[in-house]
């Protein structure tokens, strides 16, 4: 490749002129190519990477409490829960903090954030705000009357945690853990433990969808690979077409098909197989049906792309050597297909993990996946900390899936 | 010729800018679907006709997060929103809403309890009621105890898959009068009692998440009875269904409140609307079309007997009811919903 | 011995037929429902009517949504295609450190759970004061669709003979002229395909839209979504058919473009 062909002029060399340096830089071919990548890279970093990072940071962000309760936290710096309720100085500091937060208009948010960790303190803080017009004149008794929880240590421990800009409360909560009075990490009581179950449910649904997709795809991929010219194109187009149509539309369709008066139930009733309509929609089953329908084409395509590269006689060769068909398939063809199955599984699994629309619309309350809770905690209860922590869990699952996939690939590469 | 054109152009400019000035607008945010349609037809269109303010009607799920971010980033697009009463309480404390005009709040004695607040006034009072299909059940349930009694009336029950509104029903089934339910819930062991009652019905419940799916379950016969928002039932009956609301079993009603968003770009127009809406004859526009009540006591003078009877706040229905306790739920919602989810998953 | 392979083949064919029916059923079922004369989403339909198409083409909520979808889709596609094509060229031909990482970052929106992206976009565009503007949705969709363009253009660049560019340069054409007259025509099918998929990505996206738009910028999928949750009317089915038809037309366009490209390459050889 020719580099700078333009003859240099006197102006170019004039001192203080940035042009020559710039064009010399541009003369580097790789740098020029890098500059082509830069706009999109910058765009994605600004509009995706940074916002997502900010959102995930909310899982540990304690700024709201740190900024609004500085005096209280400072007064509690050397306090420990086993000392019991702290002295008057801390009460006065709290009165000042509440007063300042009210003036700044942040008291509502502070009360809400405290209430997320200790249920029932929200209203008492807002009530207390009416007392603190003269923060120095408020006695501990008055404050304690407005906020009864101040008579016990857990609330003080929480107020003490405002001394740090970070908190592990939400991350712990998102896996059903909490700190006890002594600061040790313990399991939350069984009647509050929900998130491990939700994470597990998300994984189980994704794994099952992936397995179903693999099983259903293999025969289809073989038929597609062996089909002749006009048919093969038509079949491929039919497999591809759903992929090109709205996910939302397809999910709504399943609701109609599976509902009590839908065609499936009508057929079953007509044939006399059932006496009353089956409950098909808003169940785990309907969720699987809808998710598999959406993700199946991706698996078929992944397997097909590998299958098309294999010689057709392979299986016949194996069987002619005395192996029966099943052994031949299991021992010879399937290992060769495994890269396609693996890639397809990775795609299907990763997509399934993040599913939101489909479970929301077609699943029951017990079929909601992690994404639904992320949305719910942001939208409904304004608990950004917990939403961020659940998003961190979801990202961790993705990372594990990605690492697992990479490790598998490596293993396969090594075997060859 | 030239001067004529110039004149025409000038006239055109003047005319269009005058039109632009006359074009006052505001964005109101309701709960969507037929609720929005009824509000549009019954209230906002008359308001536009009277004041010239054009109203864009948006819909949401009452997410205060959306408001808070709009206000924090000073990119406010909503002027006037309907929020649930607990959210109004929180939002008012946080300073997300403007105060009502003093003249409007001064008449608070003319309003039903819980339907007016320094930061807002009722957009609708709605109830969660027990309902069954009159075409399928001739001898329907008459109490929440019947709802729990699967031997008396066999079949699945539809219930809202969350703690709020469900714990109340459970305690009523356990024999607690509506007016006593929150005292019981606040007592030591009260919540446990509600969950114990739920334990008994759990195997027979089909949980619903949206009122649409609850209605479908009922119409398809997947459940024989369900809890549901009363106006959804009335709307279906208007289309020819024969669903029966069991008011006498006891029910709770809640209030959604109109509030003006802090720093809203069209605040003046929103205030104009509040003043318009403070008149009972204007409030009546909504319950005429939709079976939810509004706040002003005199509204009933503008309704027919039939329109009145289907409201949760009518004289006939009110005795069976109690008000949803917004204080209780503002504090306990997260903890109880979490416990409910854990219970559901067991 | 002969019987078994045959049976297996038939079973596989039967299985494929069932799977195809399964894949296509949700699309097919929408057709009669969109043509119902009733008001419920149930089958069989009580009678036939075009009323729901009339609704979506005359009711302002639906027409505004359709127009918004088109505007957002076209603008997002333009941005995604421009940025994506340049990046694909740089990534395919360049050799510089961190290339894999850059590709990974650019592809991030593809694997990121859409809710996380939606919430993140919500707080980001709110913090820059762009909530409730069409621009924020366009930018968000452009980010979502750009990786698709990068992938398709990179694939088509792999088949591109770079000697052609050198030949052009040696004949005195500047880089821009080479780019416009040699590169673009040859990788155009890849760019076109990428752009079409990008458009579909935006045209079908509902989660981000539901987080960052308000009534005035509501898109077609967003309108369908809110309808499903609140009150299901067959207008949703009619809107769905419109979505599917637009997708179908675009799919057909892509395959024509690709076939033409294949023919061109065939004759060039």
The DSSP letter of residue B111 is B
Residue A293, class by beta-carbon neighbours within 10 Å (0-12 exposed, 13-18 middle, 19+ buried)? buried
Can you give the pLDDT at residue A1?
41
Can you give the pLDDT at residue A3?
43
The DSSP letter of residue A61 is B
| C268/A296: higher pLDDT | A296
Residue C130 at interface with chain A, using a CB cutoff of 8 Å: no
Say which range, A61-65, A187-191, A407-411, B209-213, has the weakest mean pLDDT.
Answer: B209-213
Question: Looking at chain B, which subunits does it touch, using at least 3 CB pairs closer than 8 Å as the criterion?
Answer: A, C
B56 DSSP β-pair partners: B27
Range of the domain at C134: 60-268
Residues of chain B with pLDDT under 70: 1-22
Can you give the pLDDT at residue A381?
72
CB contact under 8 A, C83 and A43: yes
Chosen for mutation from A49, A249, A269, A307 (greatest number of chain C CBs closer than 10 Å) is A249
Rg (CA), chain A: 31
Q: Which CATH number fits domain B128-253+326-345: 3.30.70.1710, 3.90.226.10, 3.40.50.2300, 3.40.190.10?
A: 3.40.190.10
pTM of the model: 0.84
Distance CA B116, CA B257 (A): 8
Q: Which of A41, A262, A350 sits opposite C87 (nearest CB)?
A: A41
C25 located within any domain:
no
pLDDT tens-digit map of A231-250? 888 898 889 888 777 788 88
Q: Which of B32, B56, B73 sits opposite C126 (nearest CB)?
A: B73
Mean pLDDT of A30-35: 85
Q: Which of C131, C227, C230 sits opposite B70 (nearest CB)?
A: C131
Residue A225 at interface with chain C, using a CB cutoff of 8 Å: no
Chain B residue with minimum CA distance to A265: B220
Tell me the nearest-neighbour CA distance from A225 into chain B, angstroms: 42
Strands B80-84 and B157-160, sheet pairing: unpaired
Q: Which of B93, B96, B342 sits opposite A107 (nearest CB)?
A: B93
Residues of C in contact with A2 (CB under 8 A): 169-170
Can you give the pLDDT at residue B166?
94
Tokens of residue C181, six digits: 């007259």
Task: Give buried/exposed letters for A383-405 (b at 16+ CB in 10 A, else e).
Answer: bbbbbbbbbbbbbebbeebeeeb
B257 DSSP β-pair partners: B83, B122
**A383 and A377 in contact (C-beta within 8 Å)?**
yes
Distance CA A199, CA A393 (A): 8
Sorted by where each begins, the domain ranges of chain B are 2-125+254-321, 128-253+326-345
CB contact under 8 A, C91 and A37: yes
Can you give the pLDDT at residue A379?
78
Can you give the pLDDT at residue C2?
41
Instruction: Give alpha helix (H) positions in A4-163.
Output: 10-13, 19-27, 29-44, 50-57, 63-68, 70-75, 88-104, 107-117, 122-128, 140-146, 153-160
CB contact under 8 A, B73 and C131: yes
Task: Give the position of tokens 């079993």.
Answer: B249
CB contact under 8 A, C119 and A220: no
Can you give the pLDDT at residue C249?
84
pLDDT tens-digit map of A362-378? 888 888 999 999 998 88
The CATH T-level fold of domain B2-125+254-321 is D-Maltodextrin-Binding Protein; domain 2 (3.40.190)
Distance CA B69, CA B279 (A): 33
The number of distinct structural domains making up chain C is 1
Query: Is the complex ipTM more than 0.90?
Result: no
Residues of C in contact with B58 (CB under 8 A): 214-216
C8 located within any domain:
no
Can you give the pLDDT at residue C18?
94
Q: Which of C89, C123, C169 sits opposite A2 (nearest CB)?
A: C169
CB contact under 8 A, C113 and A51: no
CB contact under 8 A, C215 and B56: yes
Enumerate residues 6+ apart whose C-beta is below 8 A from B217: A260, A282, B158, B206, B208, B223, B226
Q: Which of A30, A220, A357 sits opposite C19 (nearest CB)?
A: A220
- Cis peptide upstream of residue A200 (ω within 30 degrees of 0): no
Can you give the pLDDT at residue C246?
81
Residues 163-182 of C with CB under 8 A from A: 166, 169-170
Dihedral pair phi/psi, residue B227, rounded to 5°: -90, 150
Q: Which of B90, B156, B345 sits opposite A108 (nearest CB)?
A: B90
Strands B24-30 and B53-59, sheet pairing: parallel
Residues of A in contact with B220 (CB under 8 A): 259-261, 265, 277
C95 located within any domain:
yes
pLDDT tens-digit map of A211-227? 999 999 999 998 898 88
- Cis peptide upstream of residue C44 (ω within 30 degrees of 0): yes
List the end-to-end C-alpha distance of chain B, in Å, as a whole number.
86
Distance CA B274, CA A228 (A): 71
Tokens of residue A109, six digits: 């948010």
If you write DSSP's letter for every residue of C86-117 in order, what string do you get? HHHHHHHH---TTHHHHHHHHHHHHHS-HHHH
Residue C141, class by beta-carbon neighbours within 10 Å (0-12 exposed, 13-18 middle, 19+ buried)? buried
CATH number at residue C252: 1.10.3720.10
Chain C residue with minimum CA distance to B36: C230
pLDDT tens-digit map of A306-324? 988 888 777 667 666 666 7
Can you give the pLDDT at residue C150?
94
Residues of chain C with pLDDT under 50: 1-3, 268-269
Residues of A in contact with B71 (CB under 8 A): none
Domains and CATH numbers, chain A: 65-164 (no CATH), 203-365 (1.10.3720.10)
Backbone angle region of A355, left / alpha / beta, with phi > 0 → left and psi within -120 to 50 → alpha: beta
C45 located within any domain:
no
Chain C residue with minimum CA distance to B57: C215
Residue B198's H or E segment, with its range, is helix B190-201
Tell me the nearest-neighbour CA distance from A408 into chain C, angstroms: 19
Q: Is the pLDDT of residue A16 over 70?
A: no
Q: Which of B31, B56, B74 sits opposite C216 (nearest CB)?
A: B56
Residues of A in contact with C20 (CB under 8 A): 235, 238-239
Tokens of residue A303, six digits: 């397997």
For residue C141, which of C111, C172, C166, C109 has the smallest C-alpha distance? Answer: C109
Distance CA B277, CA B100 (A): 12
Can you give the pLDDT at residue A8?
47
Residues 199-258 of C with CB under 8 A from A: 200, 204, 206-207, 221, 224-225, 228-229, 236-237, 240, 243-244, 247-248, 250-251, 255
């Amino acid at each position: 490749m020719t580099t700078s062909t333009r003859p240099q002029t006197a102006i170019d060399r004039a001192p203080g002129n940035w042009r020559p340096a710039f064009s010399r830089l541009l003369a580097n071919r790789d740098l020029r190519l890098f500059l082509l990548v830069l706009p999109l890279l910058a765009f994605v970093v600004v509009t995706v990477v940074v916002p997502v990072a900010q959102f995930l940071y909310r899982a540990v962000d304690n700024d709201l409490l740190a900024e609004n309760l500085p005096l209280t936290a400072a007064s509690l710096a050397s306090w420990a829960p086993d000392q019991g309720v702290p002295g008057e100085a801390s009460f006065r500091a709290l009165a000042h903090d509440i007063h300042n937060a009210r003036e700044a208009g942040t008291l509502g948010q502070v009360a809400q954030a405290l209430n997320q960790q200790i249920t029932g303190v929200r209203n008492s803080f807002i009530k207390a705000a009416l007392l603190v017009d003269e923060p120095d004149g408020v006695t501990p008794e008055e404050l304690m009357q407005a906020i009864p929880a101040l008579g016990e240590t857990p609330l003080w421990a929480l107020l003490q945690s405002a001394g740090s800009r970070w908190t592990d409360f939400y991350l712990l909560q998102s896996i059903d853990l909490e700190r006890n009075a002594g600061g040790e990490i313990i399991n939350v009581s069984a009647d509050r433990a929900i998130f491990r179950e939700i994470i597990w449910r998300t994984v189980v649904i994704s794994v099952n969808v992936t397995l179903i997709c693999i099983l259903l795809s293999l025969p289809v991929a073989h038929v597609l690979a062996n089909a002749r010219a006009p048919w093969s194109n038509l079949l491929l187009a039919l497999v591809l077409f759903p992929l090109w149509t709205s996910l939302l539309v397809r999910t709504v369709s399943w609701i109609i098909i599976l509902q009590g008066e839908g065609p499936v139930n009508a057929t079953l009733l007509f044939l006399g197989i059932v006496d009353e309509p089956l409950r098909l929609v808003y169940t785990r089953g309907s969720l699987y049906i809808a998710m598999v329908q959406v993700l199946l084409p991706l698996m078929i395509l992944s397997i097909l792309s590998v299958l098309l590269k294999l010689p057709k006689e392979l299986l016949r060769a194996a069987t002619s050597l005395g192996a029966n068909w099943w052994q031949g398939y299991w021992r010879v063809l399937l290992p060769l297909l495994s890269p396609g199955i693996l890639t397809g599984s990775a795609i299907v699994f990763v997509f399934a993990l993040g599913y939101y629309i489909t479970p929301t619309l077609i699943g029951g309350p017990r079929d909601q996946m992690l994404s639904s809770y992320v949305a719910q905690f942001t939208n409904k209860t304004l608990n950004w900390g917990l939403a961020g922590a659940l998003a961190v869990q979801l990202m961790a699952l993705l990372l594990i899936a990605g690492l697992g996939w990479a490790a598998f690939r490596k293993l396969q590469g090594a075997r060859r | 010729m030239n001067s004529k054109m110039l004149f025409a152009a000038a006239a055109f400019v003047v005319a269009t800018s005058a039109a632009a000035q006359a074009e006052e607008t505001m964005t109101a945010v309701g709960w969507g679907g037929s609720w929005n349609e009824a509000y549009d037809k019954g209230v906002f269109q008359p308001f536009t006709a009277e004041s010239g303010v054009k109203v864009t009607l948006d819909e949401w799920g009452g997410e205060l997060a959306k408001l808070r971010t709009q206000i924090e980033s000073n990119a406010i697009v909503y002027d006037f929103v309907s929020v649930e009463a607990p959210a109004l309480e929180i939002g008012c404390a946080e300073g997300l809403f403007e105060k009502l005009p003093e003249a409007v709040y001064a008449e608070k004695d003319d309003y039903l309890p819980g339907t007016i607040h320094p930061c807002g006034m009722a957009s609708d009072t709605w109830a969660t009621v027990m309902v069954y299909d009159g075409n399928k059940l001739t001898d329907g349930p008459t109490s929440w105890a019947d709802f729990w009694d699967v031997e008396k009336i066999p079949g699945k029950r539809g219930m809202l898959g969350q703690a709020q509104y469900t714990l109340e029903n459970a305690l009523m089934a356990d024999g607690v009068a509506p007016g006593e339910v929150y005292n019981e819930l606040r007592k030591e062991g009260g919540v446990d009692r509600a969950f114990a009652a739920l334990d008994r019905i759990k195997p027979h419940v089909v949980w619903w998440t949206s009122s649409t799916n609850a209605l479908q379950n009922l119409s398809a016969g997947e459940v024989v009875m369900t809890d549901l928002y009363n106006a959804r039932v009335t709307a279906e009956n208007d289309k020819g269904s024969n669903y029966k609301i069991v008011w006498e079993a006891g029910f709770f009603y809640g209030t959604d409140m109109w509030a003006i968003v802090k720093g809203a770009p069209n605040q003046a127009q929103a205030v104009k609307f509040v003043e318009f809406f403070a008149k009972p004859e204007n409030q009546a526009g909504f319950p005429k079309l939709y079976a939810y009540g509004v706040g002003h006591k005199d509204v009933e003078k503008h309704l027919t007997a039939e329109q009145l009877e289907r409201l949760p706040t009518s004289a006939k229905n009110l005795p069976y009811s109690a008000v949803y306790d917004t204080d209780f739920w503002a504090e306990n919602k997260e903890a109880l919903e979490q416990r409910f989810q854990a219970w559901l998953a067991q | 011995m002969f019987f078994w392979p045959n049976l297996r083949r038939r079973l596989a064919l039967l299985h494929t037929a069932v799977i195809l029916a399964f894949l296509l059923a949700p699309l097919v079922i929408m057709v009669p429902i969109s043509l119902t004369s009733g008001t419920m989403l149930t089958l069989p339909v009580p009678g036939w009517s075009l009323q729901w198409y009339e609704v979506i083409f005359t009711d302002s909520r639906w027409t505004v949504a359709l127009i918004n979808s088109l505007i957002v889709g076209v603008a997002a596609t333009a941005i995604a295609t421009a940025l994506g094509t340049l990046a694909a060229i740089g990534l395919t031909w360049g050799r510089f450190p961190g290339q894999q990482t850059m590709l990974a970052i650019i592809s991030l929106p593809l694997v990121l759970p859409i809710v996380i992206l939606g919430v993140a976009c919500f707080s980001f565009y709110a913090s820059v004061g762009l909530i409730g503007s069409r621009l924020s949705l366009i930018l968000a969709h452009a980010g979502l669709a750009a990786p698709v363009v990068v992938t398709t253009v990179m694939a088509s660049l792999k088949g591109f003979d770079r000697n052609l560019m050198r030949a052009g340069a040696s004949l005195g054409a500047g880089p821009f002229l080479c780019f416009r007259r040699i590169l673009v025509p040859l990788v155009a099918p890849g760019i076109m395909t990428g752009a079409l998929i990008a458009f579909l990505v935006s045209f079908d996206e509902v989660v981000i839209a539901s987080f960052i738009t308000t009534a005035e910028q509501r898109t077609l999928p967003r309108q369908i979504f809110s309808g499903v949750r609140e009150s299901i009317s067959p207008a949703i089915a009619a809107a769905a058919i419109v979505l599917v038809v637009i997708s179908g037309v675009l799919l057909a366009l892509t395959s024509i473009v690709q076939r033409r490209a294949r023919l061109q390459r065939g004759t060039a050889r």
